Amino acid sequence: GESSAITLALQLRASLFLTDDRAAVAAARSRQVVTTGTIGVLIRAARRGLVDLETALDELGATNFRRSAALFAAVIADEKRR
């Protein structure tokens, strides 16, 4: 699973490792692998003009994606201040 994916990221010298699993993030970072999650991907896409962040987060919120109630609002507020 995640351990094999981290090993592969290291072997490929991947510039970014995508995971939303907290344990995998910690393991990857301990091996100096740069990580991001789903929200990070959406932020990067929005900054490049590929998606509207609010719309993308609304659509993500309509799925079973687990997050705190205030997380999406904080992400949007942070990006608006940018």
Residue 53 has a pLDDT of 96
Query: pLDDT-derived band of residue 82, with 50, 70 and 90 as boundaries?
Result: confident
Q: What long-range pairs does 25-30 form, CB within 8 A, spacing at least 24?
A: 27/2, 27/3
Cβ neighbours of residue 71 closer than 8 Å, sequence gap 6 or more: 39
The token pair that represents 54 in the structure block:
């609010």
39: left (phi over 0), alpha (psi -120 to 50) or beta: alpha
Tens-place pLDDT, residues 19-65:
999 999 999 999 999 999 999 999 999 999 999 999 999 999 999 99
Residue 79 has a pLDDT of 92
Predicted model pTM: 0.85
Q: Would the pLDDT of 69 be above 90?
A: no
Q: How far apart are CA 76 and CA 67, in angstroms?
A: 14
Residue 68 has a pLDDT of 83
Residue 1 has a pLDDT of 83
